[in-house]
Amino acid sequence: MRFRSKPVVFLLLLSFTPPVLADEHAFVLKPTRSLLDLPKPTQATPLFMYADQIKGVKDSQFEATGHVEMRRLGQRVWADYLLYLQQSQELHATGSIRFDQNRNTLLGPELHLNLKTGTGDMPHPRYNLGETNAHGQAESLHIASRENYTLSNATYTTCSADKEDWILKAGTLNINQGTQIGEARDVTISWLGVPFLYSPWMDFPLNSQRKSGFLGPVFGATTKGGSELTVPYYWNIAPNMDATLAPRVMQKRGILLNNEFRYLQPSYTGEVRLNVLPSDMLTKTSRTYFGLKHQQTLPANLLGAINYNYVSDDSYFRDLSDSINSASQINLLREGVLSYNDGGWWNAQMRVQRFQTLQDPAALVVVPYHRTPQISLNALHPIATGTFKFNSEFVDFSHPTAVNGQRVVLYPSISYPLISSPGVFVTPKIGFHSTTYSMGANNAAQLPANQTRSLPIISLDSGLFFDQETSLWNPNYIQTLEPRAYFVHIPYRDQSRLPVFDTAQAGFNFDQIFSENRFIGSDRVGDANQVTTALTSRLLDRESGEERMRFILGQRFSSISPKVNLTIPTGTTNKSDILLGFSARASRTWSMDSLLQYNPSLARNELFNASARYQPEPGKVLNFGYRFMRNTLNIPNNFIDHINVSAQWPLYGRWGSVVRTNFSLHENRLVEGLAGLEYNQDCWTIRMVAQRFAVSTAQASTGFFLQLELNGLVKVGPDPLQTLRQSIPGYTKTNQPPNSASLPNLYD
């Protein structure tokens, strides 16, 4: 049916009452350009009708023939013939029917529709859902309302009409756009003409909203569990509450029941996980994981939190995990926190913290101290133009084999900027650090029962800022020069008889060399009479302010040889290692970052990290990295020497590739490897990923994952997207929600 440029009859009905014609009960309107004299609008929804010819009987019916078009708010019908009954508000149309409603399009040979109730029927329809462009055809269609359609012997797909690579066929298909849920019975899903999934019933979202139902099955294989199948069920309990039940069938071990429950309320939120393997066929034991995370806002500006984790055995994650992050877990956190913060100048917190430590026979595992409890009180308050700061804590440390004890730390300080302007700053600070220990049970080291360490801490932070226009790189660039000097004085106190509860040597980096203490934790406060100097130069884009390049050089100089150490120092310690950092964004596509730590006393590199990224567009990224770090314990031949390469890149046509390798040159072994292929069509994507990663120093896990994603319907197989995003910085999901599938326009 085509619309031609020819005279048509135009009829407007209001209150569904025909126009009054003098002394006639029947009338015929023939093609004319004149507009019928119409009554004034009423509160009823107006109905417009165009046709080559319209005839009717007063207060009874209208018949329209030839290129009929009927319009009503939110509805539009095209037909060759249309009969409209005024009293019942029913219409019957035949010919080449097109019915548009709520951005949906229905095509068929015949249409029965009641405009009052919104119900109707259409035999042998073809349909298109405007919001998602999903479409299909059926043997019959029943219109239950403007938002609810039921189809018999129907098809459904989001592919383009000329290339329907996947099709859902259903005995009954209900499409409810009010709830945005599609429900199908007696379902067969075909992909590339091959039926691969049957279900007596299934439902699926018509958009991205949450809904209850079975998710796509997950197929996979690992060296630890063999072939695997997971059939997850998602339960949308309420808008603020849901659960996922995901039994995982493992060929070698049995059925692992994975359960997750999440909740969200205005005053609290959290999640509960419970995974149970009733009988592991390899270990002949029952294996369990339980996790609880909960946060709650309490009265009087209090906030509470719980984080509790438990596993039944040391090898649980190494045997049953499918990612390197979970497989490498050693210390499982168990803590409860209660904190106070009214947004003012002080806050307080109480914490009880314990750990479950998973032992690895092939590695040395350090059991951390428990804090039972830890209480802290902190304050930050302006004084004139200066700042008063107060940090304090009480901790009761307990350990099954090491020294137990209690520690109280008090550290008040005042800083006062002498000069503060855009080009220069000078800020002195003075503080007093006091620590008291009380040794409890299990004092195997025979440390004094009560000890106190008190010492002043004096620092002076200063810097300058210069900038100038430069034409060396680009006339639109500004180059800066930013020298900085930081002085710290801390007198020496013998701390060799103090316990070490939670303290370690701080990593040497640009943040650390501008800090007071060279240790993390309060058990050691390093003696110091030192100056840190650094020079930073940056290249800034004049228009956007974006940093294009940064160069920084820093070193710490000491007038004394520090005596407080946790490790045996090597070489002279009056000069620290030299830090050299360089980063650049050379163009829109290229960026790089590097850091070098050089030991001038031993004439060797202690650390060197370098990385570069090339990303010309989404879906194309290359990452190159190298990492070298010597062991801080100074153990011979103990260092990290890794090459890291990852990429996402299109290959040919619609094929793309992903790859990641993290290789230890020193150990001559693969720490993590990943390789995969991705194929994208307009309405589906298939991902094939193989991954191998070390779960301990002597064990590795290998897995293969295959996922088929039918856009707008279901994902079949394990989802590797989280793994790809973690392994390949800059990874982009290449398939987007369908936006090109549509029915051809039959009325041009």
Pairing of strands 419-421, 181-191: unpaired
Q: Is the pLDDT of residue 427 over 90?
A: yes
Q: Is the pLDDT of residue 740 over 80?
A: no
- Could you tell me which residue, 210 or 189, shows the higher pLDDT? 189
Predicted confidence at residue 624, as pLDDT, reads 94
Contacts of 268 (CB under 8 A, 6+ apart): 294, 295, 296, 297
Tokens of 221: 């294989």
Peptide bond into 373 cis (omega under 30): yes
- By the 10 Å C-beta count (0-12 exposed, 13-18 middle, 19+ buried), 554 is classed as buried
Task: Look at the chain and count its residues.
Answer: 748
Token pair 């902190």 is found at: 378
Token pair 């294996």 is found at: 287
d(CA 152, CA 142): 9
Q: What is the mean pLDDT of residues 694-714?
A: 74
Tokens of 199: 């279900």
Q: What is the mean pLDDT of residues 86-96?
A: 89
Give me the numbers of helices (H) and strands (E) for the chain, helices first please: 3, 49
Q: What is the mean pLDDT of residues 272-280?
A: 92
Contacts of 124 (CB under 8 A, 6+ apart): 108, 109, 137, 138, 139, 140
Tens digit of each residue's pLDDT (9 = 90 or more) over 459-502: 999 999 998 887 666 667 888 999 999 999 999 999 988 989 99
Contact present, 534 and 554 (Cβ < 8 Å): yes
Q: How confident is the model at residue 443 (pLDDT cuts 50, 70, 90)?
A: low
Q: 723 - beta bridge partners?
A: none
Predicted confidence at residue 572, as pLDDT, reads 54
Contact present, 11 and 54 (Cβ < 8 Å): yes
Predicted confidence at residue 30, as pLDDT, reads 44
Predicted confidence at residue 37, as pLDDT, reads 33
In 3D, which of 612, 584, 613, 579 has the Cα closest to residue 595? Answer: 579
Q: What's the whole-model pTM score?
A: 0.70
d(CA 731, CA 725): 5
Predicted confidence at residue 573, as pLDDT, reads 65
Average pLDDT, the chain: 83
Buried b (16+ CB within 10 A) or exposed e, 193-203: eeeebeeeebb
Tens digit of each residue's pLDDT (9 = 90 or more) over 137-160: 999 999 998 888 999 999 999 888
